[in-house]
Structure 1
Amino acid sequence: MSTAVSTDARIKTVDVSEEMITAHLADGRIISVPLTWSWRLADATPAQRAHYEIIADGHGVHWPDVDEDISMSPCGRAIPPIGLARERTPALSPACLVSAACPDTGTVIWLFGRGASIACGLPWTVPGEWASLPREARIARTRKTLVLEMDRPAIDTSPYRRMLGLLGRRTRAGWRHRFVTNWDTLLEREVNKACPTHCPPWLESTFVYHLNGTVEDPPGNPRRSCFLLESDPVRTRVARLESNVAFHNMIWSDAFVVLGMSFECATDNSLLAALGTAPLPVEGSSWVVLDPDEGALDTVCANVQSTLPGATVIPVPAGFSEWLGRGLPELQHLGVLNAEIGP
């Protein structure tokens, strides 16, 4: 005889004390996380902490006075906001983070930086002379220029198509992939073509996340990540549902692939630093880092290893297209992919 257990992870009420953020769920569970997960709430007054709105049909909370968002996954795990943590968060005890059982599946997060765009024929960068322009003017010009650049005849997104085809053929049962990319939308164009009607079992989602914003989203969308420039300071990043969900996926992931992402600008470095504060599976994750420039490769690997001492970092001195041509052997070695069969 089996007993059905209610697992309605929608948030009903929230309390914020001097030490904890506590969510009371519709199914009676209570989820608590340290206040240090959110420097905005840590700095807020009691009145600001008490002024919140339940959003996303009960799966998120928004504090309008401090512009903070914290979300809840369908299985009842709190999703911390992205930001540069001021101190390492202490390990969470089972009593501190209670959740329903979730499927034990492996997830690979693909972090696409400029290296992937360059492989597709999009080497454009923000001109240095634009630095004298007001920030909003630079963003407007960047959006407009990138949209035009993405439609140039020289653009070739075949590396993305090859990647999707390879992952579709060879991903082992139980493993899934999720994509996080830069400003351009070349990758989601190919994902939408490859998966027009449904999400295949080897993908966690056909949604492609943009932690630093995207050129094709309407400005001011409160759910999508805000548009960030490489020169922006850390606190320019504003918590949004998209960035919070993407960060949640990262801290619970088993493996990462980093393509042309240096973590050197302040906003990207803060992302890595935030991952380092999460006492969760990401601490022991595996990182496959690609860069044809061995000096840059060494720097990225050192940044990841110093932030996540328990992680396994695998350097690959190759570009995206070259690595695809090799058949992604590092992912096969990690057990994510099956061996290629046939020609």
Structure 2
Amino acid sequence: MTREESKRLQGLSVLAMVCLHLFDTLAYSDLFTPLIMLKGFPLVFYFAQISDFCVMGFAFCSGYAHMTIFHQKNYYKKRLISLLSLYCNFWIILVLFSLVSIAVGQSSFMPGSFMTFLKTFTTISPAYNGAWWYLPVYAVIVFISPLVLKAAEKMNSVAVLFISFAVYIGGYFLRFKYSTPYEVISWFGPFGTTFFEYMVGVICCKEKVFERLEKLISKLKPTWICVISSVVFAAMLLGHTLVVRSLIIAPLTGFVIICILKFCPRPRFVDLILGFFGTHSTNIWFTHMFFYLVLFPNLVYVAK
């Protein structure tokens, strides 16, 4: 996967994140009017459901990229500098929106108490914006990545996926099925689900999965690739809402969507659009919830 392909995947992932957060609800009567209904559900709800692959997209890109550059000189130092840059971006947005919150008369919410602001600033326990949970999880993954990547190189890839999938199942049930008053334990939920998706990217790079798939897919005509991709995507679109309406299959649907994005022919302008959103994906991730849920609730639904 090239840097440009990674940017396009990040662009698709951040658009999916926005779609998920805006339209993954059946309590839409006061928010918007669906234009198309399908089997009793708004068509946009189907797209919102399948958009839960968004975290998979970001985690996969990170895992693939880290494995690609792992043996470069000063890998760990460069990753820490990159992480610091990400945090600087986050801190700027945190301070900026705290000032906006004060200006619009919501200072009790943001910044709120000093401890709430401090926990958010350090990302020990991010508040204000629900999308910020990913930042401390990603930071931990970066910190442990040298050990993880070295182990992934030495171990059998199937064993690595099996172990990380077990972590995923544990994290999923801890995050969505069981609650705990202990914040340290509950934090393992989002970490466990993200870690497996990161490891899928690592193993795909290690085993050159895309190169192998390309040898098979190159035997097909572009028209057939488009037809097969469309049928598979339509099946997932319907199945995710009508059959398995659960985040637990996000790694599977996410990987299939990544493959479709990788191999399915499309107009050049689509790549340019996805690349544009990929370039700005970090800022969209950090800020989008403020405009529909937090500081300016329902602003994006004003057109109904």
Give the TM-score, by structure 2 length.
0.29
> Which has a greater percent of helix?
2
Higher RCO (CA-CA < 8 Å; seq separation 6+): 2
> Which has a greater percent of strand?
1
Give the TM-score, by structure 1 length.
0.27
